[in-house]
Structure 1
Amino acid sequence: MNPRYPLPELTDLPDDIRQRILDVQAKAGFVPNVFLMLARRPAEWRAFFAYHDALMMPETVGRTSNLTKGEREMIVVATSAANQCLYCVVAHGAILRIYEKKPLIADQVAINYRKADISPRQRAILDFAMKVCQQSHAIDDADFAALHAHGLDDEDIWDIAAITAFFGLSNRMASFSGMQPNDEFYLLGRLPKVK
């Protein structure tokens, strides 16, 4: 399936966006389609990736977090699966496999995180994320207490909710636009890296 909106040419993008995309390409070896799809509207691209980076890489904005990079990606994979977003499940599943160094983890989390090979803390994080994803109006003090019991504080809980909400937006943008995962994502983290 082709995307519903044409991807812009890299040469037609503003310098700051083009440079960030080239940096991603140099690191990953390819340009994830989300970078080009959203670049069709530069102001929205900048806002999207500024918030993405603040949530997924808090150290870039001078903030620390008790959530690991793998836990952040687990939230994205589980909630994106609930939202039926192919792009985000596949792309963030690849990143999850790499961070956790577990080739099966993304599939497990996407299909049924309750049966996945994850810790009780991670299961509690995903229970909360799924409630935010599907029933945010029903969040109450007991939900906070369940996370506090695993050593998570209120700032960590904010992170879980914000990541869930942000990727709810991302899921919907990817789905309505017909954004497809790059082929490269499907194998990342599944096989040992060839040197």
Structure 2
Amino acid sequence: MALNLPAEDPMPEGAATYFDKCEEKLGIVPNVLVAHAFDAERLDTFAKFYNSLMLAPSGLTKAEREMIAVTVSAINRCHYCLTAHGAALRQLTGDPALAETITQNWRAADLSERQRAMLAFVEKLSLRPAAMDEADRQALRDAGFSDRDIFDIASVAGFYAMSNRLASATEMAPNPEYHAMARD
């Protein structure tokens, strides 16, 4: 990582416990979390927001949320997030080819009409947010999304727009382990 942000020393118990859980569940502590370790409160806020968007109950599947993360990250050319969330998408779908295609060009992927509508919305929101209008929301409703789902789609897209900028600004490197995950 290009910025030198030393972790709090000693690491607060809550942060250390969270890192231990990551190591246990994932086999790694994602570098994005390590980057936040200089401030336990910021780390906790980031982790809680991520967990509420990506893991909490929603009308969106976990795979759909990862599709959003990958699509936004592809638009922003975020090496860290494309690598990390490409791996997550491969794991969730069990389909490395699908995940790689979404990473490169979601329009070429074998997606449902629902997912196509979702990613078209995400693409426009990422590239031309001021141009969003009722027709964009209605297209999602027509594809079967509720207004709460639309809010979740926008929230996930917004979170990754922010995360992409943070990763790019700090030259955050993805954990090497992500490259080999879920490729079998």
Fraction of identical pairs, as percent: 40
TM-score norm. by structure 2 comes to 0.95
> Following the alignment from structure 1 to structure 2, what is the Cα–Cα distance between the partners of residues 73 and 99?
9
Amino acid paired to 2:53: L
Q: Which runs of 5+ in 2 are unaligned?
A: none
Matched residue of 2:96: which SS? coil
Deviation at 1:118, TM superposition (A): 1.5
Which residue identity does 1:39 align to in structure 2? A
Does the alignment pair 1:137 with 2:135?
A: no
1:14 aligns with 2:12: yes
For 1:57-86, what per-residue CA distance to the aligned partner results, in whole angstroms no more than 9, with x for missing partners?
12xxxxx32100000000000101111110
Cα deviations by residue, 1:136-192 (Å, 9 ceiling, x for unpaired)? 11111111111111110110000010101111111111111111011110111111x
Corresponding residue for residue 51 of structure 1: 49
What does the per-residue CA deviation read over 1:23-65, in whole Å, with 9 as the maximum and x for residues that have no partner?
010111111111111111222211111111111112xxxxx32
Code of the aligned partner of 1:166: F
What RMSD in Å do the two structures reach over aligned CA positions? 1.4
Which residues of structure 1 form unaligned runs of 5+? 59-63
Q: Distance in 1 between matches of 2:177 and 2:7?
A: 20
Distance 2:175 2:5 in 1: 13
1:39 is aligned to: 37
Query: Residue 61 of structure 1 corresponds to which residue in structure 2?
Result: none
Tell me, in whole angstroms, the C-alpha distance in 1 between the residues paired with 2:140 and 2:67. Answer: 16
Residues 84-163 of structure 1: matches in 2 within 5 Å? Answer: 84-163=77-156
TM-score (norm 1): 0.90
Of 69, 77, 81, which aligns to 1:76?
A: 69
Letter in 2 for 1:127: A
Q: CA deviation at 1:5?
A: 2.2
CA–CA separation in structure 2 for the residues paired with 1:68 and 1:190: 21
Query: Deviation at 1:117?
Result: 1.8
Distance 1:13-1:22 versus aligned 2 partners, 3 A rule: same
SS of corresponding position for 1:31:
coil
| Distance in 2 (alpha carbons) for counterparts of 1:4 and 1:172 | 14
